[in-house]
Amino acid sequence: MKSRKKQVLGKVAIKLLRGIKRRLSGKSLAQAYREGEGFGRLIYRLDAKHRERTQANLRMVFPDWPESQVHENAKKVFENFGRSSVDFLIGANRTLAELESRMRIEGREHLDAGLAQGKGVLLITGHLGNWERCSAWMSKVGYPVHVVARNADQDGVNRIVNEIREGPGTSVLARGNAARAIMEKLKAGEIVGILPDQNADDIFLPFFGFPAGTVLGPGVLAERTGAAVIPVVCVYEGDERYRLTFYPALNSVPDCEVKGEGMMRAINKWLEDRIRETPDQWLWMHDRWRNARRKGLL
């Protein structure tokens, strides 16, 4: 029964994705973004579960915000999600010139310095801004980029998404069984992108002052390989333009007993600082503190 339901949902999702692409065909980027933002606002109105989770997370992290600010930022989170999704769907065939005409790129020297060490780079970002543009630009420039991503629940959707991601030259490593492949890519001096900002249960570390279930994998990999941990974020600045910023390599927080913990503490802190700069562009609809609540830590 579940398999049949999954097949039906997969077919519906594929038709929806293709329908959106057809609808956006021939539109300017500004028109496409307006459509995406409108789609985000529609989801905000209809999806009570994720609307309420977004608002609850914002209230917890920003207790001084008035309700009007919570609601306004929550709506912008959904608008950013819609705009970024549309940008991803229509961006499969963008040239390097098209990407760079809309992006201000800062801190590239930090990425190059990390690669120069010869042990590969763990590229760290979050579900913040438009993370898909980062790997697209890097691959188009010629960096050897591999991204770790969770497979979609439906195979057809997964094929469409990965085809778009791989279009610029990026390779996709399926999350869950990627450890060996990651080690091989780093040993070859290449770049592996990871988004470690979602709910997990490896260890509970501070995130916005609250214990959050955090993966240990990136920290463990950094310790084992000596790869440079380079953070990056691509945020939307309005008027169909972006700022892509690479930051200096992160250093592990000292005196931690669990393997990988020190680097994950540093990553959590970096992510928190970047999210505070543009709180309306992070995926607050994700239940980041779910496992912490279940364990009675909140």
Segments making up each domain of the chain, as ranges:
2-294
pLDDT at 93 (0 to 100): 85
pLDDT at 18 (0 to 100): 74
Fold category of 2-294 in CATH? Glycerol-3-phosphate (1)-acyltransferase (3.40.1130)
Environment class of 96 (CB within 10 Å of its CB; exposed 0-12, middle 13-18, buried 19+): middle
- Both tokens of residue 83? 């705009």
pTM for this predicted structure: 0.92
- What is the rounded CA–CA span in Å between residue 207 and residue 93? 37
pLDDT at 26 (0 to 100): 81
Residue with tokens 């570390």: 205
DSSP state of 279: G
Residue with tokens 């607050």: 284
Phi, psi of 221 (to 5 degrees): -60, -40
List C-alpha distances in Å: 221 to 119, 121, 123, 224: 11, 11, 12, 5
In angstroms and rounded to an integer, the radius of gyration of the C-alpha atoms of the chain is 19
pLDDT at 167 (0 to 100): 86
pLDDT at 2 (0 to 100): 47
pLDDT at 187 (0 to 100): 96
pLDDT tens per residue across all 298 residues of the chain: 446 655 555 566 667 777 777 788 788 999 999 999 999 999 999 999 999 999 999 999 999 999 999 999 999 999 999 999 999 989 888 999 999 999 999 999 999 999 999 999 999 999 999 999 999 999 999 999 999 987 655 566 667 787 888 888 899 998 777 889 999 999 999 999 999 999 999 999 999 999 999 999 999 999 999 999 999 999 999 999 999 999 999 999 999 999 999 999 999 999 999 999 999 999 999 999 999 999 999 9
At 290, the amino acid letter reads R
Q: SS3 for 125?
A: coil
- What is the rounded CA–CA span in Å between residue 177 and residue 61? 33
- Both tokens of residue 141? 């420039």
